[in-house]
Amino acid sequence: VTPLFGIYQRVDFQDTKTVGVSTAYHFSEMWGAELMGYKMLASDSHVLSRFKDATGSTIDFNQERYYLGASALFTPIYGKFSLFGNKISHFDIYLAPGAGITKTNAAHFTPSMGVGQKFWITPRWNFRVEYRWMRYDDTINASTGTAAIKNGGTGSFSDTITNQNLMFGISYLFN
């Protein structure tokens, strides 16, 4: 079980942090499966605030609310290291291909790929760092521009969203 905190990058329009949890089951030293969920805590970025102040309008995009997903865990590299010759500690480097749902105005299928490292503090506790890449297609309601209904458009446009989340967590291993 791992509580997670993340620094989330989507576009220049919002500053987002993530808070969530994951739970994993390891079938062997090398293979496992994980369920993960996190909430996005978003606010306007400095770029968007300056744009709003300068133009009196905003940029159309859907704010993400949460992500729920599952991943396979593949740990091809694991070993131990010595820190200044004082303590021997174990580490794992893993890949986490997966898929899930990102919720904006609707739920969107979201394939993902994670790469991470776990530093074992004790035989049951570890510190985890993970970079996760995600991508999904979204329909944005247009209030301005050529896609806006008031300008003769359809009222929406499609956009492919690519996200990255750098996550940190502390995991506890149950036997």
Predicted confidence (pLDDT) per residue in 29-56, tens digit: 999 999 999 999 988 888 888 888 898 8
| Cα gap 98→35, rounded to integer Å | 10
Question: Can you tell me the mean pLDDT for 124-141?
Answer: 94
Q: What residues make up the domain containing 25?
A: 2-172
| Cα gap 119→171, rounded to integer Å | 10
Helices (H), 27-168: 46-55
Here the CATH number for the domain that contains residue 158 is: 2.40.160.20
Which pTM does this prediction carry?
0.85
**Domains contained in the chain, number:** 1
| Cα gap 48→124, rounded to integer Å | 44
Share of the chain above pLDDT 90, in %: 58
